[in-house]
Amino acid sequence: TQELLIKSDKLSAVGQLAAGVAHEIRNPLTALKGFLQLLKTNNAKEKYYIEIMQNELKRIEFIVNEFLFVSKPQATHFATQTLDSIVTSTIELLQPQALLGNIQIEAELVPNLPPVSCDEHQLKQVFINIMKNALEAMQQGGTMRIQAHLDNNPNYITIRFIDQGCGIAPERLPKLGEPFYSTKEKGTGLGLMVCYRIIEAHGGFMEIRSKLEEGTTVEITLPSAKYTHEWER
């Protein structure tokens, strides 16, 4: 669709610029962090200032790393893999944050789903970004569901992340995935952009449906490994 095309254009334009800038920022950043660590003081105020500087540098580093991830031509290592192991390890990773937020994570994965051809680390990054958004949206707690099953088209596997969070207003839906679009005080607005990019590189699709005050569903459709391999031939 046209919306999808526009999104990819934005990604590549931003990506090219970002690659250079993000990379150049990293070296001076390392130097700053290093020298800051060498500063020793007993003055409480100065200690406080140093701490602020360290936190702000961490923030720059976080943004730059997230940016490099989207902009660098990624060395992707595709392997045949089942989704449930990736989903399970992602859940383990986010369990502490879920517990803190009074959120239960329920996974309903149809057993023996055909494997997909994927870069495990990249796909895990996608699942982490989506689940983090879900947890962050559920300020009142609740249940987050993950469902995986064979698509209507049996060459594809569908995985859904369903939250009971604040939801997204319809007029804001088209903005999702745009670089720097964030409604969070500490957000980067890069998470979904990374997701779109990785899923696209896997020959898949990502769709977001949402209802204000009710919740959001992110649906990812990925080709099965068998289908990807047929396609490559």
Give dist(CA 15, CA 221) in Å, integer: 24
Q: Give one DSSP letter per residue of 159-179, joined into a string.
A: EEEE--S----GGGGGGTTST
Q: Which does residue 188 bind out of ligand ADP, Mg ion, none, counting CB within 5 to 8 angstroms by kind?
A: ligand ADP
Decide: 113 and 157 in contact? Cβ < 8 Å.
yes
Q: Which does residue 116 bind out of ligand ADP, Mg ion, none, counting CB within 5 to 8 angstroms by kind?
A: none
- Report in angstroms the alpha-carbon separations of 51 from 155, 176, 228: 52, 34, 50
- 217 contacts ligand ADP (rule: CB under 6 A): no
Q: Which does residue 176 bind out of Mg ion, ligand ADP, none, counting CB within 5 to 8 angstroms by kind?
A: ligand ADP
Give dist(CA 82, CA 59) in Å, integer: 34
Site for ligand ADP in 48-67 (CB under 6 A): none
In angstroms, what is the minimal distance from the CB of 134 to ligand ADP?
5
Q: Among 101, 165, 191, 223, which residue sits at the site for Mg ion (rule: CB under 5 A)?
A: 191
Largest CA distance in the chain: 67
- 216 contacts Mg ion (rule: CB under 5 A): no
- DSSP state, residue 152: S
- 10 contacts ligand ADP (rule: CB under 6 A): no
Sign (positive or negative) of CA dihedral 23, 179, 160, 136: positive
Task: Determine which helix (DSSP H) or strand (DSSP E) holds 67, and give its type and residue range.
Answer: helix 44-71
- 125 contacts Mg ion (rule: CB under 5 A): no
**Which of these segments, 13-21, 72-80, 137-145, 183-191, binds Mg ion (CB under 5 A)?**
183-191
In angstroms, what is the minimal distance from the CB of 20 to ligand ADP?
22
Q: Which does residue 163 bind out of ligand ADP, Mg ion, none, counting CB within 5 to 8 angstroms by kind?
A: ligand ADP
- 101 contacts ligand ADP (rule: CB under 6 A): no
Sign (positive or negative) of CA dihedral 86, 91, 97, 101: positive
Task: Between 22 and 168, name the residue whose CB sits nearer to ligand ADP.
Answer: 168
Task: Between 14 and 225, name the residue whose CB sits nearer to ligand ADP.
Answer: 14
Residues in contact with 135: Cβ distance below 8 Å, sequence separation at least 6, in sequence order: 94, 97, 98, 101, 103, 144, 163
Site for ligand ADP in 110-139 (CB under 6 A): 129, 133-134, 137
Task: Determine which helix (DSSP H) or strand (DSSP E) holds 151, and give its type and residue range.
Answer: none
Q: Which does residue 184 bind out of Mg ion, ligand ADP, none, counting CB within 5 to 8 angstroms by kind?
A: ligand ADP
Per CB under 6 A, residues contacting ligand ADP are 129, 133-134, 137, 163, 165-168, 176, 181-184, 187-192, 216
Provide the binding-site residues for Mg ion, judged by CB under 5 A. 133, 191
